[in-house]
Amino acid sequence: MKFLNILLGAAAAGSALAAPACDATAPKDKRASKFKFVGVNQSGAEFGKDSLPGQLGKHYTWPVKSTIDIISYITGKGAYAVLDPHNFGRYYEQVITDVDGFKAWWTTTAKLFASNSKVIFDTNNEYHDMDNSLVARLNQAAIDGIRAAGATSQLIFIEGNSWSGAWTWTSSGNGASLLNLKDPAGADKLDLVYCRLDDERLRDATAWLKANGKKAILGETAGGANAQCISALTGMLGYMASNSDVWTGWLWWGGGPWWGNYMYSMEPPSGAGYQQVLPSLAPYI
Domains identified in the chain and CATH numbers: 3-284 (3.20.20.80)
Residue 275 has what pLDDT?
96
Judge whether residue 102 has pLDDT over 50. Answer: yes
Pairing of strands 190-195, 156-158: parallel
222: left (phi over 0), alpha (psi -120 to 50) or beta: beta
Residue 197 has what pLDDT?
65
Q: How confident is the model at residue 15 (pLDDT cuts 50, 70, 90)?
A: very low
Judge whether residue 1 has pLDDT over 90. Answer: no
pLDDT digits (tens, 9 = 90+) for 24-71: 334 345 456 789 999 999 998 888 888 888 999 999 999 999 999 998
pLDDT digits (tens, 9 = 90+) for 132-172: 999 999 999 999 999 999 999 999 999 999 999 888 899 99
User: What is the three-class DSSP state of 46?
Assistant: helix
CB 205 within 8 A of CB 166: yes
Query: Which residues lie across from 192 on neighbouring strands?
Result: 158, 216
- Average pLDDT (69-95) is 88
Least confident of 1-5, 107-111, 172-176, 239-243: 1-5
Q: Which residues contact 174 (CB under 8 A, 6 or more apart)?
A: 132, 135, 160, 161, 162, 164, 168
List residues with catalytic annotation: 126, 220
Residue 198 has what pLDDT?
65
pTM above 0.95, yes or no: no
